[in-house]
C-alpha cells in the first residue's frame, strides 16, 4: 500500500557517518535533487559541504535550486567518490534553513576547496549567494572508504 508523501510524518535527523563526512570533505561533487512546483524532480550537480551533521549547498538567490528548496523542503542528493563514481553516499532529507547569512564567505571557502582560489571568481554584481541547510533523514554511506579521500587543506 502506498501513502501520499505529504501524509508521512517527518523522520528524525540522522547523523552523517564519518565515511560520508570524509567524502564530502574531499573534492567530491553532489547531484542535488529538489522538487518542482508540479512535483517533478530537478537535479543539478553542485559543490557540497557540511557543518557537523547538516549538509550545505551554496547557490545564488533566485536559482531553481533555491526556489524549489523554499517551495518544498524535501530534497535528496548523492555525493560521488571522485576516484570511483559508482561509490556514492546517498542522503535524503529536508531543508532546515535557507539563509543569506555567511553565504558569501562560504562560497569563497568552496572556491578554495574546488578551484584552489581564495575568492569565488564567478561573482556577479547584484547577485546574492544563499545557503541551503539540509537535515538528513535517511543516509546510505558509500560501500567502501577510500584512503585517497583527503580533506582539502587551505594553502
Distance CA 87, CA 148 (A): 13
Which residues is 60 bridged to in the sheet?
129
Host H or E run for residue 150: none
pLDDT, one tens digit per residue, over 88-133 is 999 999 999 999 999 999 999 999 999 999 999 998 889 999 999 9
Residue 153's pLDDT band, with cuts at 50, 70 and 90, is: low
What is the longest distance spanned by two Cα atoms in the chain?
54
pLDDT, one tens digit per residue, over 50-71 is 999 999 999 999 999 999 999 9
Residue 143 grid cell: 560501500
Per-residue pLDDT at 30: 97
Mean pLDDT score of the chain: 88
Q: What domains sit in the chain, N to C, each tagged with a CATH number?
A: 10-140 (2.30.110.10)
Q: 13 pLDDT exceeds 90?
A: no
Q: How much is the pTM?
A: 0.85
Which residues is 30 bridged to in the sheet?
46, 79
Amino acid at each position: 500500500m502506498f501513502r501520499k508523501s505529504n501524509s508521512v510524518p517527518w523522520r528524525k535527523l540522522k547523523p552523517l557517518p564519518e565515511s560520508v563526512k570524509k567524502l564530502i570533505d574531499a573534492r567530491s561533487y553532489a547531484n542535488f535533487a529538489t522538487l518542482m512546483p508540479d512535483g517533478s524532480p530537478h537535479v543539478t550537480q553542485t559543490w557540497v559541504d557540511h557543518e557537523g551533521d547538516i549538509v550545505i549547498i551554496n547557490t545564488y538567490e533566485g536559482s531553481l535550486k533555491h526556489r524549489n528548496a523554499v517551495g518544498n523542503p524535501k530534497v535528496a542528493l548523492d555525493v560521488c567518490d571522485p576516484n570511483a563514481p559508482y561509490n556514492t553516499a546517498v542522503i535524503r532529507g529536508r531543508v532546515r534553513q535557507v539563509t543569506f547569512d555567511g553565504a558569501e564567505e562560504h562560497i569563497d571557502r568552496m572556491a578554495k576547496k574546488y578551484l584552489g582560489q581564495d575568492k569565488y571568481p564567478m561573482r556577479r554584481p547584484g547577485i546574492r549567494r544563499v545557503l541551503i541547510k539540509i537535515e538528513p533523514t535517511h543516509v546510505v554511506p558509500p560501500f567502501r572508504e577510500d584512503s585517497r579521500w583527503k580533506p582539502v587543506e587551505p594553502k
